[in-house]
Structure 1
Amino acid sequence: MAESVARSGDKPPELDENAVRAWLIAHPEFFDRHPDVLEEADLQHESGHATSLIERQVEWLRAKNARLEARLSQLTDTAQDNEVRARKVMKVAQLLLRAPTLAGMVDSLRRMLREEFAIDAIFLGVLASKLRRTDIDGLTRIDAKGSVARAFDNSFRTRLIETGPLDAERARLIFPRAASLPASAAVVPIDKRETLGLLVLGADDAERFQADQGKLFLEMLAELLASSLRARLG
């Protein structure tokens, strides 16, 4: 008898939360049989006091829906931006194909980059071994052993696009007459197969070119420019 009394006084075993959760998920009809649980359970949570489990669930679903709508809006904006960029790249391709001369191509490209892509500063250079002419405005001959080649040695060597801040020394080297230096830039080697030259796009906005941004459209621009230059340098 004493043993029985002792046992009756023992605390009941604590329920495992995961087991309860799994059971409720597996038996949703529990709330159909006991609707009073939904009405009587008072819950405290971050957004305030909910009078019932149903209200808490509704608020949670509303918050989730708001997050999904925000994500969908972001994806839609990104898709629209990409479509705009794709159309602009197509215009660049058409321009490069139709330009009758190298000088005309360079002039039209620089104008389009400024007007269509809102680029504030543009440097376009071709290695001196590939470019004999020195009379084309906006196109620079780059000496393989000169200061520009040394300053951008990593770009020529790796042929990888670099985006983000551009240090003042290199910026002043390629934009010597600029009233103010770009706050951010994209350094784009021309042609991945064999180094042909360098395109540097500068922006007054420090957020325009960032280190972790996508580079697909810059890569497309580099490929188009490389093909056009090679066709005209012959």
Structure 2
Amino acid sequence: MHAQEIIAFFNAHPEFFDEHPEMLNQLTVPHPLNGQAISLTERQLLTLREKLAQVQGKLAELVSFGEENDVIAEKVHRLTLSLLLAEDFESVNFAVYNHLQEDFAVPHVALRIWNSILKRPVPEFIEVSEELRFYAADLRQPYCGPAAQHGEILTWFGEAADHLRSMALIPLRRDAQIFGMLALGSEDPQRFFPEMGTMYVERIGDMVGAAVLKQIG
């Protein structure tokens, strides 16, 4: 008999081992690691243990992700409280830089605001090019990826610009209009990468945008 015929027989007669239970102990198969002969029952136990180990590994991974998300959520909460308590633009600005650099460990942060009635003599209000404004308006979600292709934005980081390898660019919105951008930079090329999730990054952008609008209109 060929292998397929044997498989077809057992599929057609699932009651075979109920009628001949002694066969379960008489039949042997090679151990998957050492090749020694073991019973079908032992082989099935090994298979179940392997599946259990895989499930436990997936569960540990999910728990790890959950704990990581809890940590991030707590950081976002602290940033939110600081922005809510800010009484002027300077306080908002301090909260943004302080929490992102100290709490989130983002080494380089830059904020730019345009189309604002009230301006300040600070770097955050330095004019940006029309090309950059169009680019920001076209972003449907934050950009995460290599830093090299964003020459104008790199200049916002001063002497650190030449060392940045990855970047997150978060547009600040007033309804459908973009009025600014929050840029995060890192020397690590994998700190911000295209496939990363952007949910928390978007939420930070929403909160910063709302806090800025509250102070400068």
TM class by smaller structure: 0.7 to 0.9
Contact persistence 1:172–1:181 (CA under 8 A) = no
> 2:25 matched to which residue of 1?
39
**For the structure 1 residues 158 and 172, does the alpha-carbon distance in structure 2 shift closer, same or farther, using more than 3 Å as the test?**
closer
Q: Deviations over 1:185-212 (max 9, x none)?
A: 1111112621011111112222221211
> 2:176 matched to which residue of 1?
193
Contact persistence 2:119–2:216 (CA under 8 A) = no
Instruction: Give SS of 2:160's match.
Output: coil
**Pair 1:89 & 2:72 matched:** no
> 2:166 matched to which residue of 1?
184
Q: Which has the bigger relative contact order, CA under 8 A and spacing at least 6?
A: 2
1:164 to 145, 151, 162: 145
How far the C-alpha of 1:94 sits from its partner, in A, is 0.7
Q: Deviations over 1:110-156 (max 9, x none)?
A: 011111100011111011x21542423x524333xx2xx52574333
Q: What's the TM-score once normalised by structure 2's chain length?
A: 0.86
Q: Larger deviation: 15-24 or 103-112?
A: 15-24
Contact persistence 2:29–2:39 (CA under 8 A) = yes
What is the rounded CA distance, in whole Å, between the counterparts of 2:24 and 2:196 in structure 1? 48
Contact persistence 2:96–2:208 (CA under 8 A) = no
* AA of the residue aligned to 1:182: L
Q: Larger deviation: 184-193 or 211-220?
A: 184-193
Calculate percent identity across the aligned residue pairs: 24
* AA of the residue aligned to 2:85: R
> 1:155 matched to which residue of 2?
136
Q: What's the TM-score once normalised by structure 1's chain length?
A: 0.80
Q: What 5-or-longer segments of structure 2 have no aligned partner?
A: none
Tell me how large the CA RMSD over aligned residues is.
2.5
